[in-house]
């Protein structure tokens, strides 16, 4: 039977698609050796439309890429058939790769699986004040853009990030289990626009070296060794310190345990910070961690105007780091660290007690984060970028 669009009762084709008459014109102009741009001008189409048509719908049975209108129309009709099985449903190897990167277990450097808190999926986001499942938790875009690195010679192992989202969220495209949405960074069971939250910064009492005085080589990310830092806060004044290298996005987590007297003594004004993230504790944690790195990759540190950095002068003496401070209420000035803190909320959700995590837990999470491909690095991993520098 002839295709339905040849019937007299059929509706005219949308201008979005090439018609059979246009395909005949393309075939004639192609035989006359007109170029892609010339054909596009004659038909009033974009050159990319003609180029894609010649590549996708060419006749290949003869061993070449000859273009015939009837064959091209047959290819187009076949590709328009619905329903069409999703690529993840057809390709088992690709589906397993995507599932492993979404929900794969966090592993220690020796290969031991770290299970994390046990969480039951409730077909909706369980809320900020509950634990989240620990997983590799690569984003769909990271998975899609990492495939060419891991399978350079296998064209079947390719998929777009939107196809992964549709497999998770769209009914009828569900090649992936819906509970895998809990492994996404947002944890949402439904897609929705991203909300932007404006945080209020803290101010220091004394004037400090401001970010406006920071050298241009730091702002340009031209050389490694310049870090951004902050605290992520949890329930009961618990906190974890974060350090992110600006050029490579390499992340270090600082363990800030509570003092032994926390919960037994009432808070004393100007007394010790029993919650574990006072100025002395933060200074000691940064010094203890950053001094293990080679000297050439510990040049400067940019922080917001929080009271936890009141002892920045001692920190500069102990570590050799030049400390700079952002303007008040301007977290975007240390955007690399803010972005990383958002990624860490996958493992340390807001409203949960962060003091339950040991230093070894933080090391495992940092290792997992540094082993993720990053869009800003061309989908290379932070550990792949900073590795040669650590060996110097």
- For residues 295-312, give the mean pLDDT: 89
List pLDDT tens digits, range 340-387: 999 999 999 988 999 999 999 999 999 999 999 999 899 999 999 998
CATH topology (fold) of 211-390: Nucleotidyltransferase; domain 5 (3.30.420)
List pLDDT tens digits, range 243-281: 999 999 999 999 999 877 676 666 666 666 777 888 889
Q: Domain 4-79 maps to which CATH number in 1.10.10, 1.10.1060, 1.20.1740, 2.20.110? A: 1.10.10
Q: Is a pLDDT exceeding 50 seen at residue 28?
A: yes
Task: Give the per-residue pLDDT at 306.
Answer: 84
List pLDDT tens digits, range 38-79: 999 999 999 999 999 998 888 877 667 789 999 999 988 888
Task: Give the per-residue pLDDT at 191.
Answer: 74
* Cβ atoms within 10 Å, residue 96: 11
DSSP single-letter state for residue 244 = E
Task: Give the per-residue pLDDT at 23.
Answer: 92
Q: Is a pLDDT exceeding 80 seen at residue 13?
A: no
Q: How confident is the model at residue 176 (pLDDT cuts 50, 70, 90)?
A: confident
Task: Give the per-residue pLDDT at 89.
Answer: 86
- For residues 10-25, give the mean pLDDT: 79
Task: Give the per-residue pLDDT at 201.
Answer: 42
List pLDDT tens digits, range 82-97: 777 788 888 999 999 9
What are the boundaries of each domain within the chain?
Answer: 4-79, 87-183, 211-390
* Cβ atoms within 10 Å, residue 31: 11
% of the chain residues with pLDDT over 70: 85
Segment holding 253, helix H or strand E:
strand 251-255
Single pTM value for the model: 0.58
Q: Is a pLDDT exceeding 60 seen at residue 128?
A: no
Task: Give the per-residue pLDDT at 104.
Answer: 80
* Cβ atoms within 10 Å, residue 196: 5
Cα–Cα distance measured from residue 301 to residue 319, given in angstroms and rounded to the nearest whole number: 11
Write 41-50 long-range contacts (CB < 8 A, 24+): 45/18, 49/18, 50/26
Task: Give the per-residue pLDDT at 359.
Answer: 93
List pLDDT tens digits, range 185-234: 777 777 765 554 444 444 454 555 888 888 888 888 888 999 999 999 99
- Nearest 5°: phi and psi at 325? -125, 140
CA dihedral (168, 171, 176, 182) positive or negative = positive
Task: Give the per-residue pLDDT at 200.
Answer: 44
Mean pLDDT of all residues in the chain? 83
- For residues 317-326, give the mean pLDDT: 90
Specify the length of the chain in residues: 392
Task: Give the per-residue pLDDT at 239.
Answer: 93
Cα–Cα distance measured from residue 256 to residue 281, given in angstroms and rounded to the nearest whole number: 7
DSSP single-letter state for residue 30 = H
Cα–Cα distance measured from residue 219 to residue 236, given in angstroms and rounded to the nearest whole number: 35
């Amino acid at each position: 039977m002839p295709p339905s669009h040849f019937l007299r009762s059929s509706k005219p084709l949308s201008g979005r698609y090439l018609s059979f008459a246009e395909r005949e014109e393309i075939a004639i102009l192609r035989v006359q050796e007109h170029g892609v741009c010339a054909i596009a001008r004659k038909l009033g189409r974009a050159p990319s439309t003609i180029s894609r048509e010649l590549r996708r719908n060419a006749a290949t049975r003869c061993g070449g890429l000859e273009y015939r209108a009837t064959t091209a129309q047959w290819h187009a009709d076949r590709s328009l058939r619905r329903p069409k099985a999703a690529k993840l449903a057809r390709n088992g190897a690709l589906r397993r790769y995507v599932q492993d990167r979404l929900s794969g277990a966090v592993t220690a450097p020796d290969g031991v699986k770290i299970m994390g808190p046990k969480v039951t999926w409730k077909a909706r986001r369980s809320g900020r004040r509950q634990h989240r499942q620990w997983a590799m938790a690569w984003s769909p875009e990271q998975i899609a853009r990492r495939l060419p690195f891991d399978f350079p010679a296998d064209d079947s192992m390719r998929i777009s990030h939107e196809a992964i989202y549709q497999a998770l969220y769209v009914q009828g495209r569900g090649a992936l289990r819906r509970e895998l949405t809990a492994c996404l960074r947002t944890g949402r069971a439904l897609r929705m626009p991203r909300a932007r939250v404006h945080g209020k910064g803290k101010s220091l009492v004394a004037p400090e070296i401001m970010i406006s005085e920071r050298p241009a080589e730091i702002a340009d990310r031209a050389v490694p060794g310049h870090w951004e830092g902050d605290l992520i806060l949890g329930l009961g004044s618990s906190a974890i310190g974060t350090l992110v290298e600006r050029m490579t996005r390499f992340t270090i987590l600082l363990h800030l345990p509570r003092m032994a007297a926390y919960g037994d003594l009432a808070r004393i004004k100007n007394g010790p910070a029993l919650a574990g993230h006072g100025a002395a504790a933060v200074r000691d944690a940064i010094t203890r961690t950053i001094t293990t790195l080679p000297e050439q990759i510990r040049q400067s540190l940019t922080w917001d105007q929080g009271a936890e950095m009141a002892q920045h002068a001692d920190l500069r003496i102990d570590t050799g780091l030049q400390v700079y401070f952002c303007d008040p209420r301007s977290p975007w000035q240390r955007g690399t660290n803010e972005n990383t803190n958002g990624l860490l909320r996958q493992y340390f959700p807001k409203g949960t007690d962060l003091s339950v995590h040991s230093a070894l837990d933080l090391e495992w999470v940092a290792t997992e984060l540094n082993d993720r491909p990053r869009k800003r690095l061309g989908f290379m991993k932070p550990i792949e970028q900073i590795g040669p520098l650590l060996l110097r």
